[in-house]
Amino acid sequence: MMPASTEILLIEDSLAEARLLQEFLQAAKSKQFRLTHVKRLQAGLEQLRSRSFDIILLDLTLPDSQGLASLAPLNKIAPSLPIVVLTNTNDEELAIEAVRQGAQDYLVKRQVNTEVLVRSLLYAIERKQAAESLRSANEALQVQFQERSVELAKAQEANQVTSEFVSMLSHDFRNPLTTILLSTGLLEYNGHRLTNETKLTHFQLIRSAIANMNNLLEEVILIGKADVGKLQCNPTEFSLEPFCRQLVSEFQLTISDRHQLIFSSFGEFPKQSWDESLLRHILTNLLSNAIKYSPAGGLIKFEVTAQATAVTFKIQDSGIGIPQEYQKQLFQPFTRAENTDTIPGTGLGLAIVKRCIEAYKGQISVNSEIGLGTTFTVVLPLPETLT
Ligand code: ATP
Ligand code: MG
């Protein structure tokens, strides 16, 4: 196959010069050249708009444009096209300036012959191509660099979150461990001086410290599972209303006389499949918060409403409320609001609630006012009705 000829756009007002160049090109043996000749810059720009060329040969003195002023409009229309400027013997400096401003080469008119012309054209095309690929490689590199920077920032952020998580976790483990250490020490070295009653108290302290640690561990494992997408909804056939009633009576055993926990349900509850473990995590955390953050006691309302396609759970307390500015962080593990004072907690409960609700593809919202109370509303889409 014949290699395609090199398409040249010659912008040159002198017909004689144009003819001379045409003759030089026709004499070229190494390659085929096709010359399109126009006399004015405007005509050259029109040619560039209508078809494609490999190179521009540009005279720097044109009737409608003088000197370097021709370069900008040409570059604008055909930024990747190489330009070789043609110049007279007396304005070589201008030609050098043109090269500085982006032209690939210059030819002094009286010194041109076939060999010089062909070499200049081919080199110009090659140089421009090299410059273009360098530019696009550079651009690609910059994009890559930006992407890498973003990745790096994300990784650093993740590391930061992980290390915060670990430091808080170790802190929360240390408390029960200290209890165990103190109590066992006391029992071991001073056992003979302790009454049976005191001994029992210490054994109970140890037991509850171990239970605390176990809970904490399970919660962290749950969050870990959720974060790697392994917390899934595994529904089994299950009656929702009795389950809620049972949960409430378990809570009623533990609350003080100051608290009143009232359960009500609305709507029809057909037999459905639910994930009991997820439900338990969601409801026990919300109910225990409602009780815990109502230190002065008061009414806690737990309402369940069955609708056609979803069930809504509403847990309302008249406790201390959640500060507005903390509400953004409510579901972040290990965070707690400032108004919790001496009320104990690790800040994991709601993080777990949120993840369980996500596993259910449900939604949670909160409405709270300092000193007045808090209402959490959870909407879980109904699993398929069992037949
Ligand atoms: P735990 O891990 O033992 O549940 P926690 O109760 O502190 O600890 P979350 O249940 O995640 O943690 O709650 C996070 C924070 O949100 C609480 O520390 C508290 O500041 C605030 N909060 C949650 N529920 C209520 C509520 N019903 N009333 C007021 N504040 C609440
Ligand atoms: Mg809690």
Domain boundaries, the chain: 5-112, 124-227, 236-386
* Nearest protein Cα to ligand 1, atom 27: 290
H-helix or E-strand spanning residue 169? helix 114-190
Pull the structure tokens for residue 344.
Answer: 């104990």
* Nearest protein Cα to ligand 1, atom 6: 345
Quick one: which atom of ligand 1 is closest to the CA of 294?
Answer: 28
- The pLDDT profile of the chain, 387 residues, written as one tens digit per residue, is 445 789 999 999 999 999 999 999 999 888 899 999 999 999 999 999 999 999 999 998 899 998 899 999 999 999 989 999 998 877 878 888 888 888 888 898 888 999 999 999 998 898 888 888 888 888 888 888 888 888 887 888 777 767 777 777 777 788 788 888 888 888 888 888 889 999 999 899 899 889 888 888 888 888 888 877 888 888 888 889 999 999 999 898 888 899 999 999 999 988 888 888 899 999 999 999 999 999 999 999 999 999 988 999 999 999 999 999 999 999 998 899 999 999 988 898 999 999 999 998 999 999 999 999 999 999 999 866 444
Residue 139 amino acid letter = E
Contacts of 223 (CB under 8 A, 6+ apart): 333, 348, 351, 352, 355
Ligand nearest to the CA of 335: 1
- Annotate 93-127 with b (16+ C-beta within 10 A) or e (fewer): ebbebbeeebbbbbbeeeebebeebbebbbebbee
Distance CA(26)–CA(18), nearest Å, equals 12
Q: pTM of the full predicted structure?
A: 0.59
Ligand 2 centre from 192 Cα, in Å?
A: 40
Pull the structure tokens for residue 133.
Answer: 């690929």
Ligand 2 centre from 251 Cα, in Å?
A: 14
- The reply to whether ligand 1 has any atom less than 6 angstroms from the CB of 317 is yes
pLDDT of the residue at 386: 41
* Nearest protein Cα to ligand 1, atom 23: 289
Give the distance, in angstroms, between the CA of residue 124 and the centroid of all CA atoms in the same chain: 45
Ligand 1: which of 212, 221, 223, 289 to mutate, most ligand atoms within 8 Å of CB? 289
Distance CA(321)–CA(318), nearest Å, equals 8
pLDDT of the residue at 134: 84
Ligand nearest to the CA of 215: 1
Torsion of CA 296, 298, 301, 302, to 10 degrees: 40
Quick one: which atom of ligand 1 is closest to the CA of 315?
Answer: 27
Strand partners, 55: 8
The crossing angle, in degrees rounded to 10, of helices 276-292 and 240-254 is 40
pLDDT of the residue at 37: 96
H-helix or E-strand spanning residue 323? none
pLDDT of the residue at 383: 66
Are 17 and 4 a contacting pair, CB within 8 Å? Answer: no
Pull the structure tokens for residue 380.
Answer: 């879980």
Superfamily of domain 236-386 in CATH is: Histidine kinase-like ATPase, C-terminal domain (3.30.565.10)
Ligand 1: which of 281, 293, 315, 353 to mutate, most ligand atoms within 8 Å of CB? 293
pLDDT of the residue at 127: 85
The 3-state DSSP class for residue 24 equals: helix
Neighbours of ion ligand 2 (CB under 5 A): 289, 349
DSSP category for residue 385: B
Ligand 1 centre from 350 Cα, in Å?
A: 7
Task: Please tell me the class of the 5-112 domain.
Answer: alpha beta
Quick one: which atom of ligand 1 is closest to the CA of 320?
Answer: 29
pLDDT of the residue at 22: 94
Phi-psi bin for 366: left (phi > 0), alpha (psi -120 to 50), beta? Answer: beta
Ligand 1 centre from 349 Cα, in Å?
A: 7
Pull the structure tokens for residue 100.
Answer: 């500085």
* Nearest protein Cα to ligand 1, atom 10: 349
Q: Give how far Cα 11 sits from Cα of 70, 71, 86, Å.
A: 10, 12, 9
pLDDT of the residue at 387: 40
